Chains A and B, each alone.
Chain A
Amino acid sequence: MAAHSAVLSMSKIIKPFWGGHLGNTVKVFGTTLTSHRNKSSLTRENIPPPAKYGGRHTVTLIPGDGIGPELLNHVREVFRFSCVPVDFEVVHVNSAVETEDDINNAITAIRRNGVALKGNIETKHTMAPSVKSRNNLLRTSLDLYANVMHCQSLPGVQTRHKNIDIMIIRENTEGEYSSLEHESVSGVVESLKIITRNNSLRIADYAFKLAREKGRRRVTAVHKANIMKLGDGLFLQCCREVASGYPDITFDSMIVDNTTMQLVSKPQQFDVMVMPNLYGNVVSNVCAGLVGGPGLVPGANYGHVYAVFETATRNTGKSIANRNIANPTAMLLASCMMLDHLKLYDHASSIRNAILNTMNETRLHTADIGGQGTTSEVVQTIMRFIQSKGQLTSEY
């Protein structure tokens, strides 16, 4: 019985390599197998951002649920004010329906435009287990294999730990999030965690390339290979292989439970961290909490061709939705990351500087960082900072 289901699950894994989305995955397969040691097409700089006509980019916008819609409206407001040459194609995804039409439309739109900015789409428990997480579907269909999060202590925000500067690179498509589950006997459920050599090499390669690009000294792999000897053992082995090609960067590894313990006592010891999906979820949330909370940290999901930007901790924030108290910083910083990706560097820095200056004004802090400011006050102040720098702004 177990063997039978293992074969079924195997076919689910093997199929994407040779069936389905042939174009991207063959490219991935090919480059990873033959040239993962060379530079070239794996860095996103070489891929021109598509969907640019008349100097204006088109970006897919998925409002999502909870605080997503209001925060993304603020992003549009700031972009309009700063005359950013980006048009948004809005695609709504209804989390209450069981069919996958909405999310498939969103995926098609992202394929067309190449870049997206999204809020989190809620996954309702009341629906049947066959209704999979929409966010997860999006990530796996577009093969957004690297989730990158940069946690930095912001000067204006009070936290228990200072001087944190950690880059977290998390494998985004496989591992525990493979959504392969079955009930073999009544009352016994098996959930499969898949680790593959290709994806592990790919993410390790991404991590080391990024570390080199940003001038970072150390990469730490987070794992639990003492217990999951084959799965995490394979991941660790792949990281070591890639590490040998980067002698200028120190590589070490740490078990995930020790990692969390070290993070809450001495987070300054970490530089770049790379890990499989679930540990990435835990570690990125711990780090986001250490630098001040979910409202401050932006996140990016990169694939070879597509990029999707969102808040790092992917919260829906249902309880604070539509009350004008959500912190717009994370979403706005994510939009700046998107502007960098589109090579609109000037606009990105101007908005980013405005955000950081606003962060220094304690009276404007929103509730999540201990203040009483409202979202609209923060956004207005950001726009005022942008205007004061002399950039071209619109009147509305």
Chain B
Amino acid sequence: NRFQLEMQTVTLIPGDGIGPEISSAVMKIFETAKAPIRWEERNVTAIKGPGGRWMIPPDAKESMDKSKIGLKGPLKTPIAAGHPSMNLLLRKTFDLYANVRPCISIEGYKTPYTDVNLVTIRENTEGEYSGIEHVIVDGVVQSIKLITEDASRRIAEYAFEYARNNQRNSVTAVHKANIMRMSDGLFLRKCREVAENYKDIKFTEMYLDTVCLNMVQDPTQFDVLVMPNLYGDILSDLCAGLIGGLGVTPSGNIGANGVAIFESVHGTAPDIAGLDLANPTALLLSAVMMLRHMGLHDYGNKIQTACFDTIRDKKVLTKDLGGNSKCSEFTADICRRIQDLD
């Protein structure tokens, strides 16, 4: 009972290092699955716009504004290049305020932790990463952590909406309001206010240290976690570590005006770039997250099942997953399974 969905455009940013090869792996898999996606490839480098401010190339911005959905590979972090990191530029350009990382244990990729199924939602624009630092006197440095009512409300609302749309049962706010009374106190208050409008979702609050303590003992007790920037950074990487690392973790960034950019969060791995050794799982799972965001759940589930089956089978794993196969072999196996599923 299949009706042809109209093709949707997605801006693809292959990235640097292993970016191009894993992007083509994903494109190949999507083609095999006959997903109604038309890819528009764009490159993102920092260029100086009028007025001297750094910005992304206008054709990339135009493409994203039109398509609203993006898939991004890893981008090089410049050191002493004079311009800020590309991730930061993208974040500022599209006001990507929420970073969402679903961490689900992958059957077949064994870690000491099984049955992990949680989502970390991290406020991505302010908090400890506001970048405001001063040297007060020689030897005394002050970093400012900024918490605003609007940003806190926005992220809380997104967290509850996400929980509702994805059939999750509870949202936990992670904070340190016993020490940072005013700032985390404000964050917590906003979360509580938003929770009032979502009575169907259970809302709890937990200290950051208690979350860390319990997370490494029993991660199954957590569902959706919402938190400010720094705690989100640490916790989302902690949870990625529980399921196997950044090579298998998907990630999505939600912005204002309906923009959403999904990305792999691992590095560019320049040492294996171009050698057909890379693992496309992280980018693939992020693409699956993207399909779900677009409402194309069937395609998303099909591709995810094929990917997990390949990993569970352990016959064609890439080196980082413990095998010896090439990226192309891994991709081909997934494609084969998708065809078998049809």
Residues of A in contact with B (beta carbons under 8 Å apart): 6, 9-10, 13-14, 123, 125, 129-133, 136, 160-161, 176-177, 179, 181-183, 187-198, 224, 227-231, 234, 256-258, 260-265, 278-279, 281-282, 284-286, 288-290, 293-294, 313-315
The reply to whether A6 and B134 form a contact with Cβ atoms under 8 Å apart is: yes
The reply to whether A176 and B134 form a contact with Cβ atoms under 8 Å apart is: no
B139-185 at interface with A (beta carbon < 8 Å): 139-150, 176-183, 185
The reply to whether A181 and B181 form a contact with Cβ atoms under 8 Å apart is: yes
The reply to whether A261 and B245 form a contact with Cβ atoms under 8 Å apart is: yes
Q: Given contacts A187-B149, A190-B145, A313-B209, is CB(A264)–CB(B241) below 8 Å? A: yes
Does B5 reach chain A (CB closer than 8 Å)? no
Q: Given contacts A160-B112, A263-B241, is CB(A196)–CB(B215) below 8 Å? A: no
The reply to whether A264 and B209 form a contact with Cβ atoms under 8 Å apart is: no
Give the size category of B's interface with A.
35 or more
Does B223 reach chain A (CB closer than 8 Å)? no
**Binary contact readout B118-154 vs A (1 if CB under 8 angstroms, 0 otherwise):** 0000000000110101111111111111111110000
Identity of the chain B residue whose Cβ is nearest the Cβ of A227 in the assembled complex:
B129
Does B275 reach chain A (CB closer than 8 Å)? no
Residue of B181, B183, B210, B237 touching A260 (CB-CB under 8 A): B237
Residue of A187, A256, A294 touching B234 (CB-CB under 8 A): A256
The reply to whether B135 and A132 form a contact with Cβ atoms under 8 Å apart is: no
Chain A residues with CB under 8 Å of B215's CB are: 286, 289
Chain B residues with CB under 8 Å of A9's CB are: 136, 142
The reply to whether B209 and A177 form a contact with Cβ atoms under 8 Å apart is: no
The reply to whether B216 and A181 form a contact with Cβ atoms under 8 Å apart is: no
The reply to whether B148 and A187 form a contact with Cβ atoms under 8 Å apart is: yes
A335: min CB distance to chain B, Å: 22
Residue of A196, A264, A279, A281 touching B238 (CB-CB under 8 A): A264
Identity of the chain A residue whose Cβ is nearest the Cβ of B135 in the assembled complex:
A230
Q: Given contacts A190-B145, A286-B213, is CB(A260)–CB(B133) below 8 Å? A: no
Chain B residues with CB under 8 Å of A227's CB are: 128-129, 131
Q: How many A-B residue pairs have CB under 8 A?
A: 179
Chain B residues with CB under 8 Å of A230's CB are: 133-135, 141, 143
The reply to whether A231 and B133 form a contact with Cβ atoms under 8 Å apart is: yes
The reply to whether A285 and B141 form a contact with Cβ atoms under 8 Å apart is: no
Chain B residues with CB under 8 Å of A183's CB are: 182
Does B89 reach chain A (CB closer than 8 Å)? no
Chain B residues with CB under 8 Å of A262's CB are: 241
A224: min CB distance to chain B, Å: 8
The reply to whether A10 and B245 form a contact with Cβ atoms under 8 Å apart is: no
Please report the C-alpha to C-alpha distance between residue A65 and residue B165 in the assembled complex, in whole angstroms: 41
A297: min CB distance to chain B, Å: 10
The reply to whether B180 and A192 form a contact with Cβ atoms under 8 Å apart is: no
Chain B residues with CB under 8 Å of A190's CB are: 144-146, 183
The reply to whether A191 and B180 form a contact with Cβ atoms under 8 Å apart is: yes
Residue of A13, A160, A177 touching B179 (CB-CB under 8 A): A177
Chain A residues with CB under 8 Å of B194's CB are: none
B51: min CB distance to chain A, Å: 24
Identity of the chain A residue whose Cβ is nearest the Cβ of B136 in the assembled complex:
A10
B250: min CB distance to chain A, Å: 16
Does B113 reach chain A (CB closer than 8 Å)? yes
Please report the C-alpha to C-alpha distance between residue A130 and residue B181 in the assembled complex, in whole angstroms: 8
Q: Given contacts A191-B144, A228-B133, is CB(A260)–CB(B179) below 8 Å? A: no
Residue of A6, A130, A261, A263 touching B136 (CB-CB under 8 A): A6
Please indicate which of the listed interface residues B138, B147, B245 has the most CB atoms of chain A within 10 Å of its own CB. B147
The reply to whether B212 and A192 form a contact with Cβ atoms under 8 Å apart is: no
Please report the C-alpha to C-alpha distance between residue A13 and residue B145 in the assembled complex, in whole angstroms: 18
**Binary contact readout B197-238 vs A (1 if CB under 8 angstroms, 0 otherwise):** 000000000001110111111000000000000100111111
